[in-house]
Amino acid sequence: MLDTMEFLSDPELLLSTLGAFVLPGLALILFVESGLLFPFLPGDSLIFTAAMLHTQFGFSIWSMLGVGILAAFLGVQVGYWIGAKFGRRLFHADARILKTEYLDSAEKFFDTHGPSSLVLSRFIPIVRTFVPIAAGAAHMNYSRFVVFNMVGALAWLGLMTGAGLLLGQIPFVAGNIDIIAIIIVLVSVLPILVGYLRKRSKQKRAAKLVEAEITE
């Protein structure tokens, strides 16, 4: 039996395995990643690959966009409801998935970017799963939330689908989907890595200042 990590790292294999249920399967994955507290699904690379290989899988690009946008939109709506209903109570520092640090990062992102975080976070793995919860916990105006949620879903599906269609015409890209999927993931997590390195740098500078004050 193929292990889970092989599926998550190979979007073409995952889509092929879904067979005739490729569109419902794609919708389910986007829905879960967008709002059901499971951030480790390959949303970006999956949309890209599905767009690039839509003819091979037997569905139109418009049906994929419609299904994908609806699933991403509804997933975030559920995330908002979870945040409004339960807030931080589901999160623990030592949890395997629902880590407090993930929600902390999402809350900081939401505080920094406001409603536009619902659009920007779509392109950042993990953060996109927890920003809707942060918005719900903060009781963001629901009408504004719905508008920015829809804009985010349209932007995410539209840009990733467009990239798949355009870059899929390049022979190297079409012949190396697994490599491209890894690159997409790396580019997506780059903001998280930069934020982590900045945090570590600040902590080290603060520790040195404290150490210098003690030695004086």
pLDDT digits (tens, 9 = 90+) for 164-181: 888 877 766 655 555 665
pTM over 0.85, yes/no: no
User: Where in the chain are the domains?
Assistant: 4-190
CA distance 38 to 72: 13
Cβ atoms 136, 161 nearer than 8 A? no
User: Which 3-state string (H, E, C) describes 24-85?
Assistant: HHHHHHHHHHHHCCCCCCCHHHHHHHHHHCHHHHCCCHHHHHHHHHHHHHHHHHHHHHHHHH
More confident residue, 196 or 78: 78
**Strand pairing partners for 99?**
92
Predicted confidence band of residue 1 (pLDDT cuts 50, 70, 90):
very low
Cα(202)–Cα(208) distance, integer angstroms: 10
Mean pLDDT, rounded, for 46-54: 89
The H or E element containing residue 137 is helix 127-137
Rounded distance, CA 87 to CA 198, Å?
27
